[in-house]
Chains A and B, each alone.
Chain A
Amino acid sequence: MRQVTSEDLNDIALGAAVLGTGGGGDPYIGKLMAQSSMATHGAATMMYADELDDDDLVIPSAMMGAPTVMVEKVPSGKEIVTAFKALTEYYGKEPRATMSCEAGGLNSTTPFTVAVELGIPIVDADMMGRAFPELQMCTPTLAGINATPMAVADEKGNSVIINTVENRWTETFARTLTVDMGCSAMIALYAMTGKQVKEACVLGTISYAERIGQAIRRARANHLDPVETVRAATGGYILWQGKVGDVARRTETGFARGDARIDGTGAFDGRSLSLSFQNEFLIARDGDTVLATTPDLITVLDAETGVAITTETLRYGYRVVVIAMPCDPRWRTAEGLQLVGPDYFGYGVPYIPVEQRMKALGGR
């Protein structure tokens, strides 16, 4: 166990944006909310998964909806506690801890509000090691864990408990509720035992985000290259360096889809990278050559500061570096790829781990 202070949250948010692969929302609001809770209640306690007893109850908590709405309709701060308590009452058992659903983006920091407000620990883990757009897309689904019972709450005090037979149904019902609640709701779901957390979740991802954030902050303070620092801290690869030449967006089946063209500079001069996204960056192609695909992490960094740029804010003229990082091995199984592989998102290319693709290209 350790303390997580207001200062630590700055690093976690900075690193979480890198793991957000362009989606997951800007962690800024989630961070500010947790920091404002900390100003009243003090620092959060974070526990490591191996400190959980096998029969402990862990209830993850998160924000669901459009991050662009959340930056405008800022939460009241009570809804995430409302959702968490609603599910706790449903179980009739005191949870040992809360947890993050996705370490990428704003849901890295939102559960800290629950932890601090209720005085319970947060587990240093998440359910995917990155960000994904739908709530069935997580490693507990691969382990056969049901997302429900799930609680959805809004700022007005409404809360709803959902029970479904399959996690895709949960996504469907919860999405509809979220829209009715103004496209931004707080949720508690995937209640697990300590044993399930240890076996089915991606462990250590909050402190991983923190290490990435620290690396960026220190590199900037010491005038080192923050991009190279991120690459080194994540064991990733520099896919591309350039300037955003075009961003074409369209809305299809509820996703913000689009393609960005990154005109190469330096070693990549004269060539263009095509980067496709559906909320998150999912595939990077240099002409016919695929450089990386989901579920490996593809992130666009501001070339100057090393700060991750989201798909929503990406625009013409930005100078960026595109990096790719290996995903959790469970995503590379047949079941994992069926859930979040390039085929699921309709790209029709086989998944090859980024390490192998880079090796085949002679390393970068």
Chain B
Amino acid sequence: MSLRIGIDVGGTNTDAVLMDDLKVVSKIKTPTTADVTTGITNGLKFVLESSGTATSAVNGVMIGTTHFTNAVVERRRLQKTAAVRLGLPATAALPPMVDWPQDLADTIGGNNYLCHGGHEFDGRPISALRPDEIKAVAEDLNAKGITAVAVSSVFSPVNTDLENEVAAMLREWVPGVSVTPSHEIGRIGLLERENAAILNACLRQLAAETVAAFRKAISDMGITAPLYLTQNDGTLMSAEFAEQYPVLTFASGPTNSMRGAAFLSGLKDAMVVDVGGTTSDVGALTHGFPREASVAVDIGGVRTNFRMPDVFSFGLGGGSLVKEDPLRIGPQSVGFRITQEALVFGGNTLTTTDIAVAAGVAEIGDPSRVAHLDKALVAAAMARIQEMSEAAVDRMKTSAEPVPVIVVGGGSVLIAKPLAGASEMVKPNHYEAANAVGAAIAQISGEVDRVYSLAGMSRDAALDDAKSEASQKAVEAGADPSTVQIVDVEDVPLAYLPGNATRIRVKAVGDLTLVGR
């Protein structure tokens, strides 16, 4: 038996669920607090006490959070960060952060240094590393008081030595420095990988604080079980790992709610509509996992090459404003102020939640406060909500065939009737806590992305090498070896070359081993 707690820390609400193996035992939605800790503690306290569970019985706590994404999008709490790139004389045309929005580059100081180093595709050096250059960088960092650094080197996914060497030098010469080598985060594609490394570097301090707040909440409750955070692809990382790589949490919110929806409904192939307070996300599940986006993904205006779920967001949520003449719903929302501002809570703002209560499809707050609403308005608004949801689902569908639609999220009371284009509409039990459930059931993974020279080895040998390394990485991260499977294999021969270089990406996932205690 394993008891796990899944927590989703959103900008507005903190959701917590306690799961006993595959069963939801208890759940709670509480407001996110400014210190983060209190909100989590409140959630933990409720799920443990309401189920009569001893803290010592908990085997693991999994947290999903949008904290780091929001920090980048809102440009706040980001550390001054420098980018050091090794590759001269190559790459000088496009220095680090060249394609960033100016305000974000300014927020983190925009400091970058181009140095010699880097490798060719086949591992030959482009130029020798010059320690004197790195020494000068270190002195400048010290003079400017910068302690967050991203190091990128050309073809570091092929050869990681130079990034590691420079990281070691900087750690020696710059007191208190925190270095993110790009090969630890990204794949081939210098600018995108470097972007991810810089974003990671500028988030490390916030990550340390946030993870400390998570830890404090858990230890305050007396829980000694390990803490995990969820990644973009619905798999877990340890709290220690998350402190080092906060950037890997970026799209974990939608991923968790889609994985949770799959789990709660038992459907593996379906569309998921997650209705929140301000916006709704629609995504497609294939084989129980979110379908990935096919184009480069911008985070706060920065181009990255992460695996991200393909999600369409639109402005409909439980707090969306409803305006008359002409009828308009959203995109403005009262957000977390819904419990003061919505009519059913005694406020003066007409929201979609009020409409749902007036239409008799939801029981929230005081229905007498919306009894006066014009019946025609209520009907028209309900129809519009339906249309908006149907259009969004249709947009994400890959065929005209009706598909199952799973509706989850706190605002899903808005969707009262089956959606057109849905073969069935499922609102599973615990729908409002799908994201926390998704966090609780997340698996653990290992990934390899590397260019192999096939001059001295066969393609099969290279694939085997990558597969075993990915599996090994998954096991090292905590996967039960007997459940590890390869879920993604991709090999791309590098075009326009006489044959020998192939880029191989492999991902392995497995169930997390939780030791019963």
A235 within 8 Å of B by Cβ? no
Q: Given the known A-B contacts A66-B495, A68-B503, A73-B154, are A32 and B398 also in contact in the complex, defined by CB atoms under 8 Å? A: no
Q: Establish whether residues A312 and B495, one from each chain, have CB atoms under 8 Å apart when the complex forms.
A: yes
* A305 nearest CB neighbor, chain B only: B295
B376 within 8 Å of A by Cβ? no
Which of B88, B89, B98, B292 is the one whose CB lies under 8 Å from A32?
A: B98
* B488 nearest CB neighbor, chain A only: A316
Q: In the bound complex, what is the Cα–Cα distance between A73 and B93 (angstroms)? A: 11
Q: In the bound complex, what is the Cα–Cα distance between A269 and B491 (angstroms)? A: 28
B54 within 8 Å of A by Cβ? no
In whole Å, how far is B500's beta carbon from the nearest beta carbon of chain A? 8
Give chain B's interface secondary structure class.
Answer: loop
Q: In the bound complex, what is the Cα–Cα distance between A312 and B502 (angstroms)? A: 11
Number of B residues near A (Cβ < 8 Å) is: 46
Q: Establish whether residues B400 and A75, one from each chain, have CB atoms under 8 Å apart when the complex forms.
A: no
* B190 nearest CB neighbor, chain A only: A72
In whole Å, how far is B444's beta carbon from the nearest beta carbon of chain A? 23
Number of A residues near B (Cβ < 8 Å) is: 54
A33 within 8 Å of B by Cβ? yes
B346 within 8 Å of A by Cβ? no
Q: Establish whether residues B492 and A68, one from each chain, have CB atoms under 8 Å apart when the complex forms.
A: yes
Q: Given the known A-B contacts A29-B94, A73-B190, are A183 and B399 also in contact in the complex, defined by CB atoms under 8 Å? A: no
Which of B121, B127, B286, B401 is the one whose CB lies under 8 Å from A66?
A: B121
Q: Establish whether residues B155 and A73, one from each chain, have CB atoms under 8 Å apart when the complex forms.
A: yes
Number of residue pairs spanning A and B whose beta carbons lie under 8 angstroms apart: 150
Q: Given the known A-B contacts A157-B89, A265-B400, are A23 and B121 also in contact in the complex, defined by CB atoms under 8 Å? A: no
* B493 nearest CB neighbor, chain A only: A251
Q: In the bound complex, what is the Cα–Cα distance between A315 and B505 (angstroms)? A: 12
Q: Which of A57-82 contact B (CB under 8 A)?
A: 64-69, 71-78
In whole Å, how far is A138's beta carbon from the nearest beta carbon of chain B? 16
B73 within 8 Å of A by Cβ? no
Q: Which of A310-355 contact B (CB under 8 A)?
A: 311-313, 315, 317-319
- Which of A133, A179, A250, A269 has the most CB atoms of chain B within a 10 A radius of its CB? A179
CB 8 Å contact bits of B303-342 with A (1 = contact, 0 = none): 0000000000000000000000000000000000000000
A56 within 8 Å of B by Cβ? no
Contacts of B124 in A (CB 8 A): 182
* A251 nearest CB neighbor, chain B only: B493
Contacts of A75 in B (CB 8 A): 90-91, 93
B126 within 8 Å of A by Cβ? yes
Across chains A and B, which 10 residue pairs bring their CB atoms closest together, nearest first?
Answer: A77-B93, A251-B493, A256-B495, A265-B399, A182-B120, A74-B91, A155-B90, A76-B92, A66-B496, A318-B294
Q: Establish whether residues B94 and A36, one from each chain, have CB atoms under 8 Å apart when the complex forms.
A: yes
Q: Which of B355-403 contact A (CB under 8 A)?
A: 395, 398-401
In whole Å, how far is A109's beta carbon from the nearest beta carbon of chain B? 12
Q: In the bound complex, what is the Cα–Cα distance between A66 and B155 (angstroms)? A: 14
Which B positions have Cβ atoms within 8 angstroms of A? 87-94, 98-99, 118, 120-121, 124, 126-127, 154-155, 188-191, 286, 291-292, 294-295, 395, 398-401, 454, 490-499, 501-503
Q: Establish whether residues B400 and A183, one from each chain, have CB atoms under 8 Å apart when the complex forms.
A: no
Which of A156, A250, A265, A317 is the one whose CB lies under 8 Å from B493?
A: A250
A159 within 8 Å of B by Cβ? no
Q: Establish whether residues B496 and A133, one from each chain, have CB atoms under 8 Å apart when the complex forms.
A: yes
Q: Establish whether residues B93 and A72, one from each chain, have CB atoms under 8 Å apart when the complex forms.
A: no
In whole Å, how far is B44's beta carbon from the nearest beta carbon of chain A? 38
Which of B155, B286, B495 is the one whose CB lies under 8 Å from A72?
A: B155
* B88 nearest CB neighbor, chain A only: A76
Contacts of B291 in A (CB 8 A): 317
- Which of B91, B92, B126, B294 has the most CB atoms of chain A within a 10 A radius of its CB? B294
CB 8 Å contact bits of A33-68 with B (1 = contact, 0 = none): 100100000000000000000000000000011111
A211 within 8 Å of B by Cβ? no
Contacts of A77 in B (CB 8 A): 92-94
A130 within 8 Å of B by Cβ? no
In whole Å, how far is B326's beta carbon from the nearest beta carbon of chain A? 18
Contacts of A65 in B (CB 8 A): 496-497
A261 within 8 Å of B by Cβ? no
Q: Given the known A-B contacts A23-B495, A254-B497, are A309 and B294 also in contact in the complex, defined by CB atoms under 8 Å? A: yes
Q: Given the known A-B contacts A71-B190, A182-B124, are A76 and B493 also in contact in the complex, defined by CB atoms under 8 Å? A: no
Q: Establish whether residues A302 and B87, one from each chain, have CB atoms under 8 Å apart when the complex forms.
A: no
In whole Å, how far is B138's beta carbon from the nearest beta carbon of chain A? 24
Q: Given the known A-B contacts A256-B493, A313-B294, are A74 and B189 also in contact in the complex, defined by CB atoms under 8 Å? A: no
Q: In the bound complex, what is the Cα–Cα distance between A319 and B310 (angstroms)? A: 11
Q: Establish whether residues B494 and A66, one from each chain, have CB atoms under 8 Å apart when the complex forms.
A: yes
A85 within 8 Å of B by Cβ? no
In whole Å, how far is A131's beta carbon from the nearest beta carbon of chain B? 11
Q: In the bound complex, what is the Cα–Cα distance between A106 and B98 (angstroms)? A: 18
A-B contact pairs, 29 of them (CB 8 A): A29-B191, A32-B99, A36-B94, A65-B496, A66-B496, A67-B495, A68-B188, A68-B492, A69-B121, A71-B189, A73-B87, A73-B90, A73-B91, A74-B87, A74-B90, A74-B190, A74-B191, A76-B88, A77-B92, A113-B93, A133-B495, A156-B126, A182-B124, A182-B126, A249-B492, A251-B499, A265-B398, A265-B399, A319-B398
Which of B188, B292, B295 is the one whose CB lies under 8 Å from A317?
A: B292
Q: In the bound complex, what is the Cα–Cα distance between A264 and B470 (angstroms)? A: 33
Q: Establish whether residues A183 and B286, one from each chain, have CB atoms under 8 Å apart when the complex forms.
A: no
In whole Å, how far is B463's beta carbon from the nearest beta carbon of chain A? 12
Which of B191, B494, B498 is the one whose CB lies under 8 Å from A175?
A: B498
Identify 13 new A-B residue pairs, CB closer than 8 A, beyond the known A32-B99, A76-B90, A256-B492: A36-B94, A73-B190, A76-B93, A175-B496, A253-B499, A279-B496, A302-B295, A307-B295, A312-B492, A313-B294, A317-B286, A317-B291, A317-B292
Q: Establish whether residues A179 and B498, one from each chain, have CB atoms under 8 Å apart when the complex forms.
A: yes
